[in-house]
Amino acid sequence: MATDKKVTAAITAVGGYVPEDILTNADITKMVDTSDEWITTRVGIKERRILKDDTKGSSYLGIKAVEDLLARHPNIKVEDIDMVVVSSNTPDYHFPTTASVIADGVGIPLGVPCFDFQGACPGFLYGLQIARGFVESGLYKKVLLISAEKMSAIVNQKDRATLPLFGDGGACVVLEPTTDGTGIQDVILRNDNAGNAEHLIMKAGGSACPPSHETVDKDMHYVYQEGQQVFKAAVTQMGDVSAEIMERNGLSHEDVAWVVPHQANMRIITATARRINLDMDQVMVNIDKYGNTSSASIPLCLWDYEERLHKGDNLVLTAFGAGFTYGSVYLKWSY
């Protein structure tokens, strides 16, 4: 009697885009009271990309990333995509969805469902779990998952505590069913919402505090972060949740080809690698050139390192962000 092979959701293509304009640490020292030395040693960023055009939002970054994916992977046809999911903390609008704007921009067939969700910096990990559900259930065959973040739109140009940290970028993947044993193996998603919301928040603009002259005057439409509170939690949780997913899947550090950490601070990245005994040459890093691109940082790493990945490589993805929310994904690379 034939036994059915397990269906898993596999990443079958990656695309990415960062804007051409570069904002260096030297440029930032002309805007706020800081130094290249402070940013380099405390955070690990040398430069970040900025989408300078005020008429373009995160959808522009998403559209360029999808165009890149289609150009790099001619086997993926836009007319075969049957769902579009966008992770963004900086959507074009409250509504319509950025997913529908991107779908229109790249020519996704009419009728294909498109939606956004917000998962803070671990948004891409949430997106993989969402897409996995749709693919493994058999309901959808080619899910386009996009993370697009125009962080420069929500960063206070006068705040040295946040201005050096963030950059703009977009990246995307296609997820398809496979029975060859590769693809998403396990996911852990957690939320530590015990009074932590206030440590990393955009205070106004939503329904709890709608925009007004006062909220604008008080700079309440920008990222507000208590860096040390976030750092302490991120450094513990990203390491612990990576160790947990490895342990429950019987993986030792020798079995893991790459860890792909959210790119918020080089000190958090190195601590995470240390916690799971991985050498730094097995850690994907692009924080030095792109800064923190929120939910786009992990897929931008996959995009940067795509040519160095091999079928069957074990990858551990991990991220932490506002909420506090965090998680890890264990996947086997599929191509």
Closest CA to 165 of 47, 53, 272, 270: 47
Would residue 286 show up in a list of annotated catalytic residues for this protein? no
Alpha-carbon gap, residue 50 to 150, rounded angstroms: 8
Whole-number minimum distance, CB 29 to ligand COA, in Å?
9
Catalytic residue among 196, 262, 301, 314: 262
C-beta of residue 304 within 8 angstroms of C-beta of residue 284: yes
Whole-number minimum distance, CB 247 to ligand COA, in Å?
23
Nearer to ligand COA, 265 or 314 (CB): 265
Task: Count the residues of the shown chain that bind ligand COA, applying the rule CB under 6 A.
Answer: 19
Catalytic residue among 25, 89, 121, 265: 121
Sign of the dihedral through C-alpha 41, 46, 51, 57: negative
DSSP 10: E
Asked if 301 is part of the footprint of ligand COA (rule: CB under 6 A), the reply reads: no
Figure out which of the listed residues 57, 119, 127, 164 binds ligand COA, where binding follows CB under 6 A.
164
Figure out which of the listed residues 11, 234, 256, 317 binds ligand COA, where binding follows CB under 6 A.
234
Give the three-state DSSP class for 74.
coil
Question: Given the rule CB under 6 A, which of 129-137, 138-146, 222-230, 249-257 is the region that contacts ligand COA?
Answer: 222-230
Nearer to ligand COA, 43 or 114 (CB): 43
Would residue 292 show up in a list of annotated catalytic residues for this protein? yes
Binding to ligand COA (CB under 6 A) within 30-59 occurs at 34, 38, 42-43
Asked if 241 is part of the footprint of ligand COA (rule: CB under 6 A), the reply reads: no
Closest CA to 149 of 223, 207, 208: 223
Figure out which of the listed residues 102, 112, 128, 264 binds ligand COA, where binding follows CB under 6 A.
264
Figure out which of the listed residues 292, 318, 325, 334 binds ligand COA, where binding follows CB under 6 A.
292
Figure out which of the listed residues 320, 326, 330, 333 binds ligand COA, where binding follows CB under 6 A.
320
Question: What residues contact residue 121 under an 8 Å CB cut-off, 6+ apart?
Answer: 89, 262, 264, 292, 294, 295, 297, 319, 320, 321, 322
Asked if 269 is part of the footprint of ligand COA (rule: CB under 6 A), the reply reads: no
Would residue 156 show up in a list of annotated catalytic residues for this protein? no
Figure out which of the listed residues 265, 286, 293, 325 binds ligand COA, where binding follows CB under 6 A.
265
Q: Which helix (H) or strand (E) holds 87?
A: strand 83-87
Alpha-carbon gap, residue 328 to 250, rounded angstroms: 15
DSSP string, 266-277: HHHHHHHHHHTT
Count of CB atoms situated within 10 Å of the CB of 234: 26
Residue of minimal CB distance from ligand COA? 227
CA distances from 247 to 252, 253, 255, 318 (A): 7, 10, 11, 15
Write the interaction track for ligand COA spanning residues 76-115; mark x where CB under 6 A is met and - where it is not: ----------------------------------------
Closest CA to 208 of 224, 191, 196, 220: 220
Closest CA to 89 of 230, 4, 232, 202: 202
The length of the chain in residues reads 335
Whole-number minimum distance, CB 265 to ligand COA, in Å?
3
Q: Which helix (H) or strand (E) holds 190?
A: strand 183-191
Asked if 121 is part of the footprint of ligand COA (rule: CB under 6 A), the reply reads: yes
Active-site annotation, residues: 121, 262, 292
Rule CB under 6 A: which residues touch ligand COA? 34, 38, 42-43, 121, 160-161, 164, 227-228, 230-231, 234, 264-265, 268, 292, 320-321
